[in-house]
Structure 1
Amino acid sequence: MARGGSIKTLASLCAVLMLFQLAAAGGSGGHGAGSSFDYKRALHSSLLYFEAQRSGHLPYNQRVRWRGHSGLADGLQQGVDLVGGYYDAGDNVKFGLPMAFTVTMLSWSAIEFGAEVAAAGEWRHVLEAIKWGTDYFVKAHTEPDVLWAEVGDGDTDHYCWQRPEDMTTSRQAYKVDRENPGSDLVGETAAAMAAASIVFRRSNPHYSHLLLHHAEQLFEFGDKYRGKYDSSVSEVWRYYASVSGYGDEMLWAALWLHRATGRAEYLDYAVAMADEFGGTSWAITEFSWDVKYAGLQILAAKLLLEGRHRPEHRPTLEQYSSKAEHYLCACLGKNGAAGNVNRTAGGMLYVRQWNNMQYVTNAAFLLTVYSRYLTASGGAAAAEPAVLQCPDGPVGAGELLALARAQADYVLGANPAGVSYMVGYGRRFPRRVHHRAASIVSHRADGRFVGCVQGYDHWFRRPGSNPNVVVGAIVGGPDHRDRFSDRRSNYMQTEACTYNTAPMVGVFAHLHSEGAQERK
């Protein structure tokens, strides 16, 4: 909700004073006044995190050595191979919707910032992170109109505290099909595979074609048999319910398929369904694994900025672009009375109490990528640089990137607590992350079986630091007053998720590249 101008001004002044005090004290996560953050190291750490979240048979080049093989019988009782993929957070369930969104965001990072990722020496690792997810999606899409949605059950999983290598909880698998549709899950998985097909187009054209084939089939399935996946798979409702419905995912998938194929039919779909599915009617101030509107609106705005559309598409693309601008202006606090994203006194964008960092990192990505789109659309031939038109005045690409940098720096330690909310980065970071594998001695160090309740008694309730550092994990983060409590039981703040870190791959790569150019 929007705040009064005087309150915003006072909060901003307080934030500035607080940050000056932190800098003077050298409290920014180990960075003193005048020093910059090591975005290259942050990028490296972020990609390590995905190796810590791997399920399945780990490869010979696995760098996170405290993890072992797990979930090797996934899908066996259903007669399908569902080994692999990612655990979403600090539990041992494989949830399809957040996993697919994670892969879409990793792929988008690679597409937009591939040169910067490669210059930082991390291109191979980002490809491996994406492929670990897409290999699983290929397995999970067993028939044109069947997609396996989840492996494991959240209720039984949360009853136990075990390493994934030891888990004795249910590995029941759940699917969506014609009779039990799930257009939101199917649409997001189609988007992930379409985006990933772009990433692999040059290095692995056969694999790229395979991914695109699955993406097209999934899109057709999701559109023909429409429905919310949490109505078909009730077990997911308490954990990853699709509150926004499936309209955003189907538009998101259409725009990614258009980008991957160049075929007009997918843009025609995004234009034809824009109003019915909310793409041009919903003005949203968050972007997440559930709510994709801001992301797809920015994809549509890119087409408008580049002039890559037919004349009859322009009015609808302008509506999409207007909604994209609403989101960006809301993050900047320049939406007038139309609604802005709240900020804490320390400057963090604040959406809600539970895992607020997901909204921070996704906002940082969209701000960064749109700043690039604006810069490219201005170009050397343009009379004037392109700007974002906000109700409170025009905004240039530099201001968008400055806010993205401020959010990235907050994550890394430029905050009132002086804590890096990326685990393993800086001197001060969360030591008691709500994460089963990290909080129990590794299977490699002690192969003795840890039982369901034993894990709670011996490890969860320990007051000390986790024995394993889940490097690169971005935890849920502080509350609306910039307060953070590093307790394993404080899952709203200390649990990390793959979709928190995924968007920062692109952001860190870009910020590192910007810094390298400034130093030349």
Structure 2
Amino acid sequence: MAPKAHRSPSTLPELRQLILVLLLFVAPVASNAGHDYGDALRKSILFFEGQRSGKIQADQRVKWRRDSAMKDGADHGVDLTGGYYDAGDNVKFGFPMAFTTTLLSWSVIDFGKNMGPELNNAVNAVKWATDYLLKVTAIPDTVFVQVGDAFSDHNCWERPEDMDTLRTAYKVDRAHPGSDVAGETAAALAAASIVFRSRDPAYSSLLLDRAVTVFEFADTYRGAYSSSLRKAVCPFYCDFDGYQDELLWGAAWLHKASRKREYREYIMKNEEILGAGESINEFGWDNKHAGINVLISKEVAMGKADNLLAFKQRADNFICSLLPGISHPQIQYSPGGLLFKVGGSNMQHVTALSFLLLAYSNYISHSNQHVPCGQISASPAQLKQLAKRQVDYILGDNPMKMSYMVGYGARYPLRIHHRASSLPSVGAHPAHIACKAGTRYYLSPDPNPNLLVGAVVGGPNTTDNFPDSRPYFQESEPTTYINAPLVGLLAYFWAH
């Protein structure tokens, strides 16, 4: 038997570096042509108009949508019209809507200068959300966190314009706390206040003042909203990771928006108590840890907050966990190169984690830093390339040669899991379509009659296969929190 080859330790780092570079820069599926990131950006923002609830305005560009849910809040004697439907159903879930608002705002804050003529549309998308968030937080120590009974809604396949399902409004308050959804709402209001700081100072001040009071409520009356409202919010947007991360997330955005020392002191004081170092490679509507570390690291990278160095170290660890070729139990890549995490609607992970890769690469590039990952290091350019690989996969550089954004490219999903898109519009079919009458449209093999341009679906499975079929909702359903971070990514790659 021949002896095993022995590599000298000095060559191992170089070999690992070579493997990493190859994985980052050699795409497994060749692109036929460069992508029109500007077109994709326009469509990714347009998608939000198709998700609007409430009174449709005259300048609405998605013409097949009409007014819907015009009595929301009536059961509590308040006006809760407006906001977004989070996905393909007709419920307004406050937790993912607030996260969507935060990420849309972050996209504008970091990449608005790259959006060109689409910047105004992106700002309008933020405002449609914040106008609603101001309504749900108008009563002190109260946040309305959901409108619509999810079980009633999911029992029907109905246009939002036809809804006759229960529009129950659910709230958290002193007796029924919800620090998670309230903390995220505070973060959203604070982040949006930065968006409007120079555009509309009065509106910006209103958002920031409300963020402060909502955060105080979240911090004073601590508890998870899925404990207070379990029957209403679980299993749909149940808080699986606790409310602690949302308190730190809210404080981080309040510090960024207000520049008040008290929020930095809050973060430092509560860092260990609220578990800042946990779940380092998670970022989404339920878990903010990686986002907290990246957001706070900007100040550390700029030399403004050496006392928060632990956040940058955790951000480095998070980035390392995403790199292909570095083993991590919770991060995989499909054969075609798509980042993959266990659970439904994988594209939410792809866009959110790619956004953090891009944001962090920008933060550390200003100080010429690299990310140390054991015996190798990753440059800002490599992080950008990995993020770009994910965006290009979404837009069509994949084994299916399919764009996962509706309306972009030559081939894209035609049978998305989305009620309004899959049922004939009010303009085409003015008569009411009842709860169960929509089932035949749901089961139909025909393409959706209304193109929800810009919608990015949950995406393919771990083997890069995609069933273009409504019943496969984990693959075929779009969500606002898939698109929100993608807006920033597309803006950057359009400009660069």
What is the TM-score when the length of structure 1 is the normalising length? Answer: 0.89
Query: What residue number does 1:264 align with?
Result: 261
Per the TM alignment, residue 283 of structure 1 is displaced from its structure 2 partner at its CA by 4.2
Aligned residue for 1:363, secondary structure, equals: helix
**Is the 1:183–1:250 contact (alpha carbons within 8 Å) kept by the matching residues of 2?**
yes
Question: After the TM superposition, which residues 441-460 of structure 1 pair with which residues of structure 2 at under 5 Å, given as runs?
Answer: 441-457=424-440, 459-460=441-442
Tell whether 2:90 aligns with 1:92.
Answer: yes
The AA in structure 1 aligned to 2:449 is: P
Q: Which amino acid aligns with 1:245?
A: G
Residue 29 of structure 2 aligns with which residue? 19
- Residue 505 of structure 1 is matched in structure 2 by 487
Aligned to 2:460: 478
- Distance across 1 between alignment mates of 2:27 and 2:318: 28
**1:248 aligned residue (222, 237, 245):** 245
2:99 is the counterpart of 1:101: yes
Q: Does 1:295 align with 2:276?
A: no
Counterpart position of 2:280: 284
Amino acid at match of 1:347: G
C-alpha change, 1:393 and 1:9, in structure 2 (3 Å) is closer
**What are the residue-to-residue correspondences of 1:323-338 with 2, within 5 Å?**
323-333=314-324, 335=326
The answer for the alignment partner of 2:52 in structure 1 is: 54
Residue of structure 1 equivalent to 2:151 = 155
**AA paired with 1:147?**
V
**How far off its partner does 1:300 sit?**
1.5
2:8 corresponds to: none
Question: In the alignment, is the contact (CA less than 8 A) between 1:105 and 1:502 conserved in 2?
Answer: yes
Structural mapping, 1:1-20, within 5 Å: 18-20=28-30
Q: Give the secondary-structure state (helix, strand or coil) at the position aligned to 1:19.
A: coil
Counterpart residue identity of residue 113, structure 2: A
User: What is the aligned partner in structure 2 of residue 28 from structure 1?
Assistant: none
| Native 8 Å contact 2:28 2:337 kept in 1 | no
* Structure 2 contact 27–337 (Cα < 8 Å) conserved: no
* Distance of 2:357 and 2:249 partners within structure 1: 18
SS of equivalent residue, structure 1 residue 165: helix
CA distance in 2, matches of 1:204, 1:452: 42
Alpha-carbon distance, 1:301 to partner: 1.1
String of CA shifts for 1:143-198, please: whole Å, max 9, x gaps: 22000010001101000000000011000000000000000000000000000000
Structure 2 distance, partners of 1:39, 1:321, is: 30
In the alignment, the residues of structure 2 paired with residue 353 and residue 232 of structure 1 have an alpha-carbon distance, to the nearest angstrom, of: 25
Classify 1:77/1:104 alpha carbon distance in 2 versus 1 (closer, same or farther; 3 Å). same
Q: 1:359-411: CA deviations, max 9, x gaps?
A: 000111111111111122x2xxxxxx211111241111100000000000000
Provide the secondary structure at the position in 2 that maps to 1:240: coil
Q: Aligned in 2, Cα 1:463/1:340: closer, same or farther, shift over 3 Å?
A: closer
> Structure 1, residues 73-124: CA drift from partner, whole Å, max 9, x if none?
000121010000000000000000000000000000000011111x2x1111
Matching of residues 144-183 of structure 1 within 5 Å: 144-183=140-179
Alignment correspondent of 1:27:
none
C-alpha contact 1:334 1:340 (8 A) present in aligned 2: no
**Distance in 1 between residues matched to 2:229 and 2:167, nearest whole Å:** 15
1:359 aligns with 2:339: no
**Paired amino acid for 1:465:** P
User: 1:387 is matched by which residue type in structure 2?
Assistant: H
Counterpart Cα distance in 2 of 1:103 and 1:139:
14
Per the alignment, residue 11 of structure 2 pairs with none
Tell whether 2:407 aligns with 1:417. Answer: no
C-alpha RMSD over aligned residues: 1.8
- Displacement after TM superposition at 1:9 (Å): 7.1
Number of aligned residues: 478
Q: Tell me if 1:469 matches 2:467.
A: no
- Superposition map of 1:9-408 within 5 A: 18-20=28-30, 23=31, 32=32, 35-117=33-115, 119=116, 121-234=117-230, 235-279=232-276, 281-309=277-305, 314=307, 317-333=308-324, 335=326, 339=329, 341-376=331-366, 378=367, 385-408=368-391
Corresponding residue number in structure 2 for 1:26: none
- CA drift of 1:341 comes to 1.8
TM-superposed deviation, 1:216: 0.1
Give, as a single letter, the amino acid of the residue that structure 2 aligns with 1:321.
K
Paired letter, 2:248: L
- Are the equivalent residues in 1 in contact too, given 2:421–2:452 (CA < 8 A)? yes
SS at match of 1:475: coil
The 3 A distance-change label for structure 1 pair 480 and 9 is farther
Q: Deviations over 1:22-62 (max 9, x none)?
A: x5xxxxxxxx2xx2101000100011000000000011100
Mapped contact 2:19–2:325 kept (Cα < 8 A): no
**Separation in 2, partners of 1:90, 1:17:** 32
Secondary structure, aligned partner of 1:148: strand
Instruction: Give CA-to-partner distance per residue, 1:265-293, whole Å, 9 cap, x none.
Output: 001111111111111x2142221110110
SS in 1 for 2:372: strand
Taking the aligned partners of 2:56 and 2:219, their CA distance within structure 1 comes to 35
Calculate the TM-score normalised by the size of structure 2.
0.94
- Runs of 5+ consecutive residues of structure 1 not aligned to the other structure: 24-31, 379-384, 515-520
Conservation of the 8 A alpha-carbon contact between 1:282 and 1:323:
no
Change (3 A) 1:253 1:59: same
Residue identity in the other structure for 1:482: D
Letter in 1 for 2:473: Y
Q: Report the Cα distance in structure 2 between the residues aligned to 1:340 and 1:99, rounded to whole angstroms.
A: 26
CA distance in 2, matches of 1:129, 1:196: 11
Sequence identity (%): 45
CA distance in 2, matches of 1:505, 1:200: 18
Displaced runs of 4 or more, over 3 A: 15-18, 337-340
Superposed displacement of residue 16, structure 1:
5.8
SS of aligned partner of 1:257: helix
Deviation at 1:353, TM superposition (A): 4.1
In the alignment, what sits opposite 1:437?
A: 420
Aligned AA (1:105): L
Amino acid at match of 1:346: G
Q: Could you tell me which residue of structure 2 aligns to residue 517 of structure 1?
A: none
| Separation of aligned partners in 1, 2:485 and 2:237 | 19
Task: Report the Cα offset of residue 340 of structure 1.
Answer: 6.3
Equivalent-residue separation in structure 2 for 1:131 and 1:101 (angstroms):
14
Mind listing any 5+ residue stretches in structure 2 that lack a counterpart? 1-14
SS class of match (2:166): coil
